[in-house]
Structures are given as C-alpha cells and as structure tokens.
Amino acid sequence: MGLRFTLTYPIPNPNWWDSSKGDIEQIVREFHEEKWAAQQDPVTGAGWAARKQGGGWPILRKTGAMMGSTTIKATGVMQFVA
C-alpha cells in the first residue's frame, strides 16, 4: 500500500519585475529626491546639491562630510579637504 500524488507548480519567471520596473524606479526616485531635498549643510543651512550630473547625491556622515571624499593632510594644522 502506498501513497501517490502529483505536485504541479508554475515555472518561475526570472523577468517577473519587468512590467513594474519603471513604476518602482519612479517611486524610489521621487522618494530619494524628497528625502535629499530636506537635507541641509550643517554649516550654511543650504540644501545639498547633486554631487555630479546624472545622479548621485552626497552621502553624509554625521559631521556633514561627504562619505569617502574626505582626506586628511598632515601639516602644521590638520586640514580636511572634501
């Protein structure tokens, strides 16, 4: 005596996101622009401008410096160059 059954499952579609890709991108872009528009320079209080054309907003550290773009020069006075 045995138990037999058939399991049927749909074949996964690797391109399932193609139909909604544009909509998702638009929502993320709007959210991104809205959040970065609210960010301010801690010194001047001015809003942050795009770091380069064609995308990319500055990623801020807690101090307001742009992430990964600060270098330290060992001179008579410590200098932070962004």
- Residues recorded for the chain: 82
Residue type, 1: M
The pLDDT tens digits of the residues spanning 36-75 come to: 777 787 888 887 765 554 444 455 555 555 555 545 454 4
How many angstroms separate the CA atoms of 59 and 69, rounded?
A: 10
pLDDT in tens, 17-37: 777 777 877 787 788 778 777
Cβ-contact 66, 60 below 8 angstroms: yes
